[in-house]
Structure 1
Amino acid sequence: MVKNTKILLCSIGFSIMLGGCSGMNSTNTNNKNGVAKETQAEPSSDSLVSVQDYTGDGYALPYGKETDKLAEKYRNQIEEAAEEFFKENYKTDVYVHNVVGSSEGATIFVESKGKVHFYTYAVVPIDEQGKHVLTDKIWAEEYQVENAIKGGLYHMIFNEEFKKLDIYLESLAAKGQVTGKTKEALQNVGGHGYMTPYYFLALTSKEEAIKPVYDLFISNPDESAENLRNAYDENLFKAENFKINIQLFMADKQAKPSEEIFNQVTKELEGMESIPSGTYSFSLNDNFIDKQSAEGAKENSIKRGFPDYIIKE
């Protein structure tokens, strides 16, 4: 059952919803050097963990203590229901990586199998009084999953362009001053479409260029990459509908976000050619991540974003 409703979305927590919003729409202030500093509520120090160590352990959703216990008890049934749900509704086989209790339900974090890669989630209601899981009522917010698949398709058909971006970001990390999230963190608490340790894609509801590709994929998941690429309608492409949100962390636990590194990366991104078209934002955080929300953005984070995005047409 695919739902278009917002019911229970609040229970999914801020890490997913703000994963897209904080990266693209944060309110910013400027320091004396003109560098945007992201402003956001500070996590408590006892909930912070080094990003290199964070795998999703400690992640929590509101009012999920009791449902988390039930979700663990019925983990096998939940996994089977999730696998069947995504196969039936989205023609996609998935790995179930994590199940986290939330208000009146549990959030199921999954990763796609096969050539179209993405992370997403579904929700299974839980009857706390009856102490059972309603696997027959599992659901997902329709456009969230659809856009996750579209992001995976966008990456697949522009694979060479994404390789250039990946090589660049991996080379930055190889120098030892910055790093990204762990693969385990993406698997266990990611859920935000196509993701790497260094960035994620977010498509707006107004996106139309990739829609024919999505429709073709849903009608025939075994369609060739060439035919999927040919279905892409570049005449309908608008950069503002494809958000590429880059998030890096300082590799040193003692280091504050470096304006020098931030300015260097921003300048290099602006000058890069042949990377994926879209609207880029970039944030540089210190070394720590809030284990409860999986967020790295803090008051000291340095940000290039709204309204001064990096645009690649």
Structure 2
Amino acid sequence: MKYAFLMMSIVLVLAGCGGKSEQTVSPYIPVQDYTGQGYELHNGEEYVEFAKEHRAEVEKLVKAHFRTKYKTDVIVHNVVGAQDAVVAKVEAVEEPKYHTFVILPIDSNALTGKVMEDQGVVDGAITTSLYGQAYHKEFKVLDDFCEKIGKKYPVIGMSQKAINNTTSLGINTPFYYVSTLDVFFPEAYKLYRKNGKVTNKELDTYIRHKKKEKESISIALTFYMKKRFGNPDATILKEVIKEFKQTKGFPPGNYNIFINSNEIQKATTSEKSTKSTNDTLGNEIVIS
């Protein structure tokens, strides 16, 4: 029960409830200056220094966990203090490349040696990345579209370094992220767990030919205003939505488009303010 409560507390924080409420300096920072500095988890202050001092031990435990359970090598990008634990932000080295996190409990000021995970988060990260592999050509279309928007309008994305240090999602690029919190392609997932990879033919059979499950994939396009301290521009949002609807070849999924303020909260990476597709259309853009 102790570890179950710990897991629930940390997952809620990572879902967006983290960060201190009292700060002597501004909690916000222009997105182009942000690399993950100040990122923290609620009630993790006690173990900030612990996370730094025990990073090597954390990395060893985490890498062994992913090699044993998933036959996957990972990079540990960041280790942060949490409530009676530390959280490691990791990225898979080879395809399917995904971001996720694991939790290492602390007892009597020492790591217990356990590596815990919220199964829905890790499974969802793997599932979304397998989805990205299956639709790699379509995601290239999405990449090109986002790059075009970044050149045409005064918007930018979050740096890859900041993403690596803070994200817990499966696919996360400077301009969009793809998420699901369940295994909606179980055959592909089981093959990955068995072999550490899935062939193109298997991806085609077990993902591309599945229709219903694609409705579970959420894809959020997230652009930040380029002007330092700038507020989100609803006019830009309308233009981006218009261009998005005129472009063909995107991967299937439920899309939402965000134009965010330039500033984000350091502790949680949340935008200071935003304009989204829902403000304009009242619902997501669905591509099947």
Q: What's the TM-score once normalised by structure 1's chain length?
A: 0.83
In structure 2, what is the Cα distance between the partners aligned to 1:310 and 1:45?
39
> Structure 1 residues 204, 61: CA separation in 2 closer, same or farther (over 3 Å shift)?
closer
* 1:75 and 2:55 are equivalent in the alignment: yes
Is the aligned partner of 1:65 residue 2:45? yes
State the identity %: 26
Could you say if the C-alpha distance between residues 217 and 52 of structure 1 is closer, same or farther in structure 2, counting changes exceeding 3 Å?
same
1:140 counterpart (117, 120, 123): 117
RMSD of aligned Cα (Å): 2.3
Q: In 2, distance between residues paired with 1:126 and 1:204?
A: 26
Higher relative contact order (CA 8 A, sep 6+): 1
Instruction: Classify the secondary structure of the residue corresponding to 1:46.
Output: coil
Judging by fraction of residues, say which structure has more helix: 2
Residue number in structure 2 paired with 1:289: 264
Query: Is the 8 Å Cα contact of residues 10 and 82 (structure 2) preserved in structure 1?
Result: yes
1:143/1:64 Cα in 2 relative to 1: closer, same or farther (>3 Å)? same
Instruction: After superposition, give the CA deviation of every residue in 1:47-106 in whole Å (9 maximum; x if it has no partner).
Output: 111101111011111111221212221111110000111122222210001000010001
Report how far residue 247 of structure 1 moved.
1.1
Name the residue aligned to 2:227: 252
Which letter maps to 1:302? K
What is the aligned counterpart of 1:121 among 83, 89, 101? 101
Aligned to 2:133: 156
The one-letter code sitting in structure 1 at the alignment partner of 2:70 is Y
Cα displacement string for residues 186-242 of structure 1 (whole angstroms, at most 9, x for unaligned residues): 11011111110111111243x63x221111111112443333333326344344311
SS in 2 for 1:197: coil
What secondary structure is seen at the aligned counterpart in 2 of 1:248?
strand
The residue matched to 1:8 in structure 2 has which SS? Answer: helix
Does the Cα contact within 8 Å between 2:219 and 2:253 map onto a contact in 1?
Answer: yes
Counterparts of 1:253 and 1:177 in 2: how far apart (Å)? 11
Cα 1:56–1:105 shift into 2, 3 Å: same
Structure 1 residues 239 and 232: alpha-carbon distance in aligned structure 2, compared to 1, 3 A threshold:
closer
Deviating 4+ runs (over 3 angstroms): none
Partner of 1:30: none
Deviation larger for 147-156 or 170-179: 170-179
Q: Which runs of 5+ in 1 are unaligned?
A: 20-40
Which residue of the partner structure matches residue 9 of structure 2? Answer: 10
Residues 1:262 and 2:237 aligned together: yes
* Residue 303 of structure 1: how far off its partner (Å): 1.3
The corresponding residue for 2:34 is: 54
Q: Does 1:304 align with 2:277?
A: yes
